[in-house]
Amino acid sequence: MTDEKQFPRGRLITCILPKGTAIPLMKKLREEKGITAMSFHHARGAGRSGRSRHGLGHYVENHIINIAVSTDQADDIFEFIYFEAHIGEDHNGLLLMEKLGMLTPYTLPEELQDE
């Protein structure tokens, strides 16, 4: 059994976004919400438009952000991303949240906090 105070439970929020939208969102998360536990990568996949039913359609490059947050922050951060990234609009991405068994607390060294 883990020590809940030392290693709190958390959530992993995964956000799949159109190319070019991840970095601005990550900056807002850091500046407005103080989130520092994030990673970013990209992936390419095939998609189909709603108009065409034949073939694979077109290739799309997406940016993917993984954000680790405490259980207490999870709903607030999820909602923040939903509205900031316009997830509810067509072709603006996908947002997922899952449980993490534990988080390892991370803070920036004092000399780096002002950068």
Residue 100: is its pLDDT beyond 50?
yes
The CA angle 63-81-57, to the nearest 5 degrees, is 40
pLDDT in tens, 44-94: 877 665 555 565 567 788 999 999 998 899 999 999 999 999 999 988 889
Sign of the torsion angle spanned by Cα atoms 23, 110, 107, 79: negative
Whole-number pLDDT of residue 44: 84
Tell me the mean pLDDT in the region 15-25. 93
Say how far apart CA 114 and CA 108 lie, in whole Å: 10
Whole-number pLDDT of residue 103: 72
Q: What is the largest CA-CA distance in the chain?
A: 56
Whole-number pLDDT of residue 1: 46
The two tokens of residue 56 are 């694979």
Residues 73 and 100: beta-carbon distance below 8 Å: no
User: Is 10-45+57-102 a domain of CATH 3.30.70.120?
Assistant: yes
Which is more confident, 35 or 91? 35
Q: pLDDT over 70 for what percent of the chain?
A: 77
Whole-number pLDDT of residue 25: 95
Q: Which helix (H) or strand (E) holds 30?
A: helix 22-33
Q: Where are the domains of the chain?
A: 10-45+57-102
Whole-number pLDDT of residue 75: 96
